[in-house]
Amino acid sequence: MNATNSPLGKPLDRVDGMLKVTGQARYAGEFPEKGLLHGSVVSSTIACGRVLSIDISKALAVPGVVAVIDHTNRPKIASYDEDYEDADSAEGSPFRPLYNDRVLYSGQPLALVVADTLELARHAGSLVKIEYETDDHQTHLQSVKDDAHEAPAETPKPRGNFQAEYVGAAVSVDAHYTTPNEHHNPMEPHASTVMYQADGSLEIHDKTQGPQNCQDYLHNVFGLEKDKIRVLAAFVGGAFGSGLRPQYQLPLAVMASLKLKRSVRVTLTRQQMFTFGYRPSTLQRLRLGAAANGKLVAIGHDVIGQTSRFEDFTEHVVEWSGMLYQCDNVQLGYKLAPLDVYTPLDMRAPGATSGMVGLECAMDELAIALGVDPVQLRIVNFAERNGNEDKPYSSKELKACYEQGAERFGWSNRNPEPRSMRAGRQLVGWGMAGGVWEAMQMPASAKASMDASGKLTVSSATTDIGTGTYTVMTQIAADAAGVMPEDVTFVLGDSSLPTAPLQGGSFTVSSVGTAVQQACRALRAKLLDAVRMAHPEFAVADMEEVGFGDGYLHIRDQRFSFGDIVRDSSHEVLEVQIDSKPDEKREAYSTATHSAVFVEVHVDEDLGNIRVNRVVSAVAGGRVVNPKTAGSQILGGVVWGISQALLEESHTDHTLGRVMNHSLAEYHIPVNADIGEIEVIFVEENDTIVNDLGSKGVGEIGIVGVASAIANAIYHATGKRVREFPITLDKVL
């Protein structure tokens, strides 16, 4: 398809939009089944100890209750005596629901009540009485920071002589920052509907970011053959990392289904959404040293993060400080402190969202100490190469992000003096920060098939967690095959489809999209072969004489519709399956997405109320396949960044070891009234190395740097530097 009528780069409406807004899109907890049973989880009320007894007699006496399953009567699960892994597992021994009498954290599932209706199951669950032997627990990161151990993740090795250069620097910053626990709260809670089949096989609708990961997990845990497990996730109501690992409702639903030989659904309550993975709190120390001209001579970033007693969860928290700016003397440290909590989990831009808070706030503090503009300081320290890997970037239009973002925002009108800008009783602050996220690509497979009506069907076992995967894959397929987008059906969310990685890390377009592109190009070649077979005069046609577009193959002065080619080929369909992997040419380069975020805040001088009035986010993410869905990703990331900066925090009562604000009434996130004007700019960035599409993905980058920019704007407005997030009005006052 030629560039003028290619669907790539066009703001195509979501192809699944109509199904969603009319309620026809079914989610994991919505599939009907005759005789379906409902499970309700009974959670622990202590943080550490042992179950002495579970009295289920009153629950079983409720008419309509079919079973109560706990560690004493669960079915035998062979793998519970071995270690097993899922694709997003952490170092250590994964959590096993109903494994034994040990209580490892507050909210741990201790029993599953199964009944004819959800209401009956929940009521009966309230009648289960559990006696405990309680042990001392620790859930406070500050209290155990001195006991932290090195994280198993490979932190980039030190380079140069940080200590000497830092001590000798003309200007230095030494600051501590803290970020809190944040819990996943996607619109759709986690649910699994297990359809028990007559032959003992299971068809499962699960809220997941990877159907094949769930299939592998169940195969490993329950010893079921993979052909007896089919996992489906056609629609996912937001995930942000919460569906990367199978959550405990899945094994509990399968356990009940296998034990009872019935179909079972288990849905977690909103409160139970606070009883599994989350973004872990961090304690950060940033040390920056600079010459008088602003050039960085030393960067030190040390972080302590929290983890569970049974797994060492690690994320890339400090790496960004070694790569975003040019500096020859860098020392990075990352430790973990185990607590009596569940294992943390990847959450939108994991590691970068937290780590960049420290780096970008410290850069603002350095700019003030030097008396230079924060944008200018970043330009002076622009890095052509990734210092951690000592590789050049495949592309890096970060300077253009600074320039275009600053121009659109009106940054040149900023008075650098804190408390100098006002709007009536409101102090006005302008702040900015940079952002970075790795542009990864994973192996992936896709199948493309053309039928006799000229309709193209493309499939891969990826998911669409609300990012627009259905739509962008339709655009990529239409462009690569030479058909109109309305003639493409993209099928996903099924473990039986061609292999795909987990949907996360902003690598779905580059991974699955590349496979889709290659499969559709291979299908075009098959269509051409079919024409050559049917028309010998074209057997030696030069490829320059061949074109594809609008559902036709053009060759010399003739054209053949794809549908006619299939009909004449004596096949019902022509199809191709392709296994795609990253190109070797990537290995010589570092690949990353970059951004620059500019923020205006208004702070009420008397009340301390903070409002983010406007945001400009300039993003360099390679080729943008669909600016409408990509723009929505950045908008959503900015809103979450506002939440991270000002509102979002899981409050733990350390006496009880329990999250207290475990509801959407008390877990504060922004509403429409909290959000001002947000403008997204996609900076042009051509990258021929990252993949054939030239796309880097934008799912994660939208949130990175936003909280830092807001914190920097609050300092500019008030003259007060708050280093403990979220920045609530009590801290400003």
User: What is the overall mean pLDDT for the chain?
Assistant: 96
What token pair was written down for 69?
């399953």
DSSP conformational letter for 444: E
Cβ distance 14 to 470 under 8 Å? yes
Fold of 37-136+187-239+243-274: Aldehyde Oxidoreductase; domain 3 (3.90.1170)
Banded model confidence at residue 92, pLDDT cuts 50, 70, 90: confident
Cis geometry, peptide bond prior to residue 627 (ω within 30 degrees of 0): no
Architecture category of domain 278-440+587-732 in CATH: 2-Layer Sandwich (3.30)
5, pLDDT greater than 90: no
Cβ distance 528 to 546 under 8 Å? yes
pLDDT, average across residues 275-296: 98
For the chain, percent of residues with pLDDT exceeding 90:
95
205, pLDDT greater than 70: yes
CA atoms of 661 and 180, how far apart (whole Å): 13
The three-state DSSP-derived secondary structure of 504-559 is CCCCHHHHHHHHHHHHHHHHHHHHHHHHHHHCHHHCCCCHHHEEEECCEEEECCEE
Banded model confidence at residue 323, pLDDT cuts 50, 70, 90: very high
The pLDDT assigned to 1 comes to 60
Active site residues: 700
pLDDT, average across residues 168-172: 98
3, pLDDT greater than 60: no
CA atoms of 483 and 553, how far apart (whole Å): 10
Is pTM beyond 0.75? Reply is: yes
398, pLDDT greater than 60: yes
Cβ distance 285 to 361 under 8 Å? no
Cβ distance 421 to 429 under 8 Å? yes
Per the listing, tokens 């993975």 go with: 277
Q: What are the boundaries of each domain within the chain?
A: 37-136+187-239+243-274, 278-440+587-732, 442-581
Banded model confidence at residue 570, pLDDT cuts 50, 70, 90: confident
Banded model confidence at residue 4, pLDDT cuts 50, 70, 90: low
Please list, in sequence order, all residues whose beta carbon lies within 8 angstroms of the beta carbon of residue 78, skipping any fewer than 6 positions away.
223
Banded model confidence at residue 540, pLDDT cuts 50, 70, 90: confident
Query: Which position has the higher pLDDT, 538 or 396?
Result: 396
Query: What is the CATH number assigned to the segment(s) 442-581?
Result: 3.30.365.10
Cβ distance 357 to 279 under 8 Å? no
The pLDDT assigned to 81 comes to 66
What token pair was written down for 96?
């096993």
Instruction: Tell me the per-residue pLDDT of 687-699, one tens digit each, with 9 for 90 and over.
Output: 999 999 999 999 9
CA atoms of 386 and 589, how far apart (whole Å): 9
**Do 37-136+187-239+243-274 and 278-440+587-732 come out as alike in CATH topology?**
no
pLDDT, average across residues 619-634: 98
